[in-house]
Structure 1
Amino acid sequence: MTGDDRFTRDFRESRADLPLGTRNEIITGPVTNWATDFSHLEPEWAADPYPIQDDLRQRCPIAHTDRFGGGWLPTRYEDVAAIAYDTEHFSSRSIVMSNFRPPREAAPVGGTPPISSDPPFHHDARRLLLPAFTKSAVAKREQATRALCHSLIDGFEGQSTVDAARDYAQYIPMRVIADMLGFPPEDGPRFREFIENTLEGVNLPPEERLARMESLFDYLLAQVRDHVDNPRDDLTTYLVNAELYGRKLDPSHVAGTMALLLIAGIDTTWSAIGASLWHLARTPADRERLVDEPALLPTAMEEFLRAYAPVTMARLVKEDTHWNGVDMKADDWILLSFPAANRDPEQFERADEIVIDREVNRHAAFGLGIHRCVGSHLARMELRVALEVWLERIPNFGLSDPATVTWSTGQVRGPRTLRLRIDQARSPA
């Protein structure tokens, strides 16, 4: 057996041996009291979580639920930050809150390193990815990203309404991540399916969820085989050849990191672009100001990230502990709501307002602590370019029907249907 064949065999075996984890009762349905029975999968949370978070911050800043086997939801910035930095009491071995937990033996690597990794392994796994996400590396992708945005808007010719979420926002990170990993750009629709299975299907029975995940890893295996046979200058070939502690990465590490980049790298930026366009469509004064003052966009963009932060991350309690007034049990979930932290009035002036020229804005949209997003430079570039091109080409737009806007459920929130009325797109400058 050649080394290449051995790698792909080990890759498949690493997935086949994954345990299902601890099974908990599947609990869905209306929430009667968000302080004692919260659920991030309910439609009212997806539609508008901010009033719920504001209410909890006042009367029960660390909410609890018995769903998903038990979990906690801190809503104050200081609590979210404290847990994010506390790797002694809280594990990252699973960052998606669902109806089952991976076994403790999964730590410190986790299923999708480095985001699922605990110290000390996390530091070294994260360091492997840093060269691909530096400002200089990201800058090399800006021209292609800008050309893609223009081509997408070219496709709107003759249309008076478009779905900015499905026809614009989602395609930008899909193409960027596909190019980084060396995946066929025409596979974009499959990426959407993988994202929905992973992030929006968390309450499925574990066996069904695992079966759906297998389609993702079958796809990744096919890409690995192709890269082993045809090495090129991309992130997949880099991971296949990378070494840690003097040896090649385990196939499970390669698979998990590829899955992380494919799913998290797409959904978060897709959501941020969509939410920003949603805000501008419903706030003509902000839209008109950015059209007139394009130099303000980087500042406004940070405010959109603060106010509409897409990502909530999960942690697992390591051992029974009394933390900040509540008794947490081992393997309780913690939902780190960076969106709630970003609207804490103790941390931000006029926290419930969107102030596009806000000068002091130390938001937590990219996370806090050791797991702060390694791809933040890339996400910022994609968001900035997407908005620059849109405002240049389509300066006049608004919501076609606010009632038809839909938002994703789960831990990454962004528009999934966003019908906009648009004027005829201008020609590129």
Structure 2
Amino acid sequence: MTVDDRFSQDFRGTRPDAPLGTRSEIVTGPVTDWAGDFSHLEPEWAADPYPIQDDLRQRCPIAHTGRFGGGWLPTRYEDVAAIAYDTEHFSSRSIIMSNFRPPLEAAPVGGSPPISSDPPFHHDARKLLLPAFTKTAVAKREAATRALCHALIDGLEGQRVVDAARDYAQHIPMRVIADMLGFPQQDGPRFREFIENALEGVNLPPEERTARMGLLFDYLLAQIRDHLDHPREDLTTYLINAELYGSKLQPAHVAGTMALLLIAGIDTTWSAIGASLWHLARTPRDRERLVAEPALLPTAMEEFLRAYAPVTMARLVKQDMHWNGVDMRAEDWILLSFPAANRDPAQFDRADQVVIDRQVNRHAAFGLGVHRCVGSHLARMELRVALEVWLERVPRFALADPSAVTWAAGQVRGPRTLPLRIG
């Protein structure tokens, strides 16, 4: 089979959140006033954002910054939810807050549909993905995921100190997503590079960010061509052959959705697994209880998702307006902090505590509104299996050096290094 004409050229200019459009100044640097100059890229935010969010919620619940060309940070659950559900006044055409904004003509599709899409296109683009992420479809992947977790722990045998982020958590979603897309399993290290470029490289000079994002789309084009030459049943082939409005998907749509699955599908789950293990390593009481009561794990898992929600999403204001006491301008960023919403005491009892047997837990870890995570069933399965296997095989563990734990900066937060002492 020859290469489909749709994919005969490269994807220059189709990258999600590529630096096309307006640019602001460099955005990192010390913050002296989080209410008027916040930056989610600072090391203190990565290390522990919760005290900052709690302080803002009390004295300035919708913080502002002049960085990134201007943006807002709501910290109350009700504000985050209101914006997430309001597609009339807020656009999703760019979900990574950076020093660039995609041009207005990028809407309603965006660079990585459906997460970057606005209604009504969003509904149809999302609907294409639903069959691959149903509970039934996800259940078919559980046995292989469990076997992988056991194999990863087998590889740690004999080590007294292991890096649970690098040697365990990150590999699980990498393998699952690679299998879903039909990518070579040995390409995992490249996926990590793509993730870091997309999510943590937002302050790079435009030409460097363009070049780094180009590496991802060059890789995706190679995978698409391989699938065209060697058809097989997987999500990549499905996207290549899928139709919308009576036509095959545009190349930018196919590549953008693949990029979304590769980046968001890996980093979010990797971060959730790592944060859960970090909590159990530093909280012996909770670890011992879950080892003794494994049936409690699904409930505890939801609490870990609430307390350590990894994902923050961005929106763009569509037009000048006065909203909940602040004057927003067209093209201002909104940083939708689901982690801050999940710790709002007006929404959750004992919001600042991790209560592993919490019964009522309508958290926002998977987002709110039309953009709620399409892969939530998959993420829950991976998290549950990863923790089940770890607690079964490694019932006793603790932080080897709390100061050695590092966290990702940016809009997906989770441990990047997590040294644990076993036994």
Question: Which bracket does the TM-score occupy, shorter chain normalised?
Answer: over 0.9
Per-residue deviation at 1:5? 4.3
Helix, strand or coil: the match of 2:398? strand
Equivalent residue, structure 2, for 1:426: none
Q: Residue 421 of structure 2 corresponds to which residue in structure 1? A: 421
Q: Which AA in structure 2 matches 1:7?
A: R
Aligned to 1:4: 3
1:245 aligns with 2:245: yes
Q: Tell me the secondary structure at the aligned position of residue 346 of structure 1.
A: coil
Structure 2 counterpart of 1:396: 396
- Report the equivalent of 2:31: 31
Residue 122 in 1 paired to residue 131 in 2? no
User: After the TM superposition, which residues 158-307 of structure 1 pair with which residues of structure 2 at under 5 Å, given as runs?
Assistant: 158-307=158-307
**Distance in 1 separating the partners of 2:368 and 2:132:** 21
User: What residue number does 2:379 align with?
Assistant: 379
- 1:20/1:207 contact within 8 Å kept: no
Q: Are residues 188 and 232 of structure 1, via their aligned partners in 2, closer, same or farther at CA, if it must alter by over 3 Å?
A: same
2:7 and 2:225 in contact (8 A); partners too: yes
* 1:23, distance to aligned residue in structure 2 (A): 1.4
> In the alignment, residue 9 of structure 1 is paired with which amino acid?
S
Residues 418 and 46 (structure 1), Cα distance of their counterparts in 2 relative to 1, 3 Å cut: same
Are 2:318 and 1:315 equivalent residues in the alignment?
Answer: no
SS at match of 1:101: coil
SS in 2 for 1:398: strand
1:292–1:195 Cα change, 3 Å = same
Distance 2:219 2:151 in 1: 27
- Structure 1 position 70 matched with structure 2 position 70: yes
Deviation digits for residues 312-366 of structure 1 (CA, Å, limit 9, x no counterpart): 0000000001000000000000000000000000000000000000000000000
CA contact (8 A) 1:11 1:255 kept: no
Task: Tell me, yes or no, if the aligned pair for 1:15 and 1:252 is still in contact at 8 Å.
Answer: yes
Q: What residue number does 1:152 align with?
A: 152
| Aligned mates of 2:247, 2:307 — CA distance in 1 | 43
1:15 alignment partner in structure 2: 14
Letter in 2 for 1:81: A
Specify whether residues 271 and 16 from structure 1 end up closer, same or farther in structure 2 by C-alpha distance, changes over 3 A only: closer
Alpha-carbon distance between aligned partners in 1 of 2:313 and 2:208, rounded to the nearest angstrom: 23
2-structure distance, mates of 1:213, 1:156: 33
In structure 1, distance between residues paired with 2:15 and 2:374:
29
What do residues 372-422 of structure 1 show as CA deviations (whole Å, max 9, x unaligned)?
000000000000000000000000000000000000000000000100000
Q: Unmatched 5+ residue regions in structure 2?
A: none
- RMSD over equivalenced CA pairs, Å: 1.3
Cα distance in structure 2, aligned partners of 1:118 and 1:232:
31
- The secondary structure found in structure 2 opposite 1:420 is strand
Q: Secondary structure at the match of 2:32?
A: coil
User: Structure 2: which amino acid aligns with 1:6?
Assistant: D
Q: Report if aligned partners of 1:278, 1:418 keep a CA contact under 8 Å in 2.
A: yes
* Cα distance, 1:7 vs structure 2: 2.1
Is contact 2:12–2:214 with CA below 8 Å preserved after alignment? Answer: no
- State the secondary structure of the residue aligned to 1:64: strand
- How far residue 279 of structure 1 moved from its aligned partner, in angstroms, is 0.1
Q: CA deviation at 1:6?
A: 1.2
Q: Please say if residues 14 and 256 of structure 2, whose CA atoms lie closer than 8 Å, have aligned partners that are also in contact.
A: no
SS of the residue corresponding to residue 152 of structure 1 reads: helix
Change in CA separation of 1:244 and 1:381 when aligned onto 2, cut-off 3 Å: same
SS at the partner of 2:11? helix
Deviating more after overlay: 159-168 vs 8-17: 8-17
Q: Distance in 2 between matches of 1:156 and 1:19?
A: 41
Name the structure 1 match of 2:53. 53
| Aligned mates of 2:198, 2:11 — CA distance in 1 | 19
Aligned to 1:357: 357
CA contact (8 A) 2:15 2:213 kept: no
Structure 1 Cα separation of the partners of residues 351 and 338 of structure 2: 13
Change (3 A) 1:31 1:388: same
Distance in structure 1 (CA, Å) of the matches to 2:126 and 2:15: 25
- Which amino acid in structure 2 is aligned with residue 394 of structure 1? V
* Contact 1:11 1:251 (8 Å CA) reproduced: no
How far 1:207 moved relative to its partner?
1.7
CA distance in 1, matches of 2:176, 2:376: 14
Q: 1: distance between equivalents of 2:14 and 2:399?
A: 44
> What is the total number of aligned residue pairs between the two structures?
422
Counterpart contact for 1:14–1:251, Cα < 8 Å = no
Q: Could you tell me which amino acid in structure 2 is paired with residue 60 of structure 1?
A: C
> 1: CA distance between counterparts of 2:411 and 2:252?
24
Equivalent position SS for 2:289: helix
Query: Can you list the C-alpha shifts for 1:185-224, whole angstroms capped at 9, x where unaligned?
Result: 0000000000000000001112211110000000000000
Query: Who is 1:407 aligned against?
Result: 407
The answer as to whether partners of 1:162 and 1:422 remain within 8 angstroms in 2 is yes
Give 3-state SS (helix, strand or coil) of 1:353's partner: coil
- How much does 1:4 deviate? 2.6
Aligned-pair distance for 1:20?
1.8
User: Post-superposition shift, 1:307?
Assistant: 0.1
Question: For the Cα contact (< 8 Å) 1:46–1:410, is it kept in 2?
Answer: yes
For the structure 1 residues 11 and 43, does the alpha-carbon distance in structure 2 shift closer, same or farther, using more than 3 Å as the test? same
- Aligned equivalents of 2:139, 2:28: Cα separation in 1: 44
Report the alpha carbon displacement of residue 66 of structure 1 after superposing the two structures with TM. 0.1
Q: Give me the whole-angstrom Cα distance separating, in 2, the residues matched to 1:37 and 1:203.
A: 16
TM-score by length of 2: 0.98
**Runs of at least 4 residues off by over 2 Å:** 2-5, 10-19
Could you tell me how far apart the structure 1 residues matched to 2:206 and 2:12 are?
A: 19
Structure 2: how far apart are the matches of 1:52 and 1:400? 27
Match of 1:427 in 2: none
Separation in 2, partners of 1:212, 1:305? 31
Would the aligned equivalents of 1:302 and 1:361 in 2 still touch at CA under 8 Å? yes
For the Cα contact (< 8 Å) 1:11–1:252, is it kept in 2?
Answer: no
The amino acid across from 2:347 in the alignment is Q
Shift of 1:137: 0.1
Check if 1:342 corresponds to 2:342.
yes
TM-score using structure 1 length: 0.97
Q: 1:15 offset after TM fit, Å?
A: 3.4
Structure 1 residue runs of 5 or longer lacking an equivalent are: 424-429
